[in-house]
Copies of this chain bind each other. A is one copy, B any other.
Amino acid sequence: MFVIMVYDVGEKRVGKVLKISRKYLYWVQNSVLEGEISESNLRKLKYELERVIDEEHDSIIFYTFRTTRYYQREIMGIKKGGEDNFL
């Protein structure tokens, strides 16, 4: 499946969240990652994130799709990250 992940977490936890997420997804731009991921890896990702975020202050949204066929993706301005640009 394909995932778009957007996070809004406290400054102290940004580094940890990013480090975990980058093991599974690629960085797209500030606070956004994307990628193809298996269901089991998505579960692992969520499990690891749950352990570092503060559930009373932080928020992470996962949009999951079976395929990328049903959406269009358009960038305005510069392309910061992406599949071809692991940082």
Contact = CB atoms under 8 A, between A and B. Distances in A.
Interface of A: 4, 6, 8-9, 28-32, 46, 49-50, 53-67, 69-80
A59 B77 contact: yes
A32 to B, nearest CB: 5
B4 A63 contact: yes
Contacts of A79: 59
Contact of A61 (B61, B69, B74): B74
A71 B57 CA distance: 25
A29 B73 contact: no
A73 B80 CA distance: 24
A32 B60 contact: no
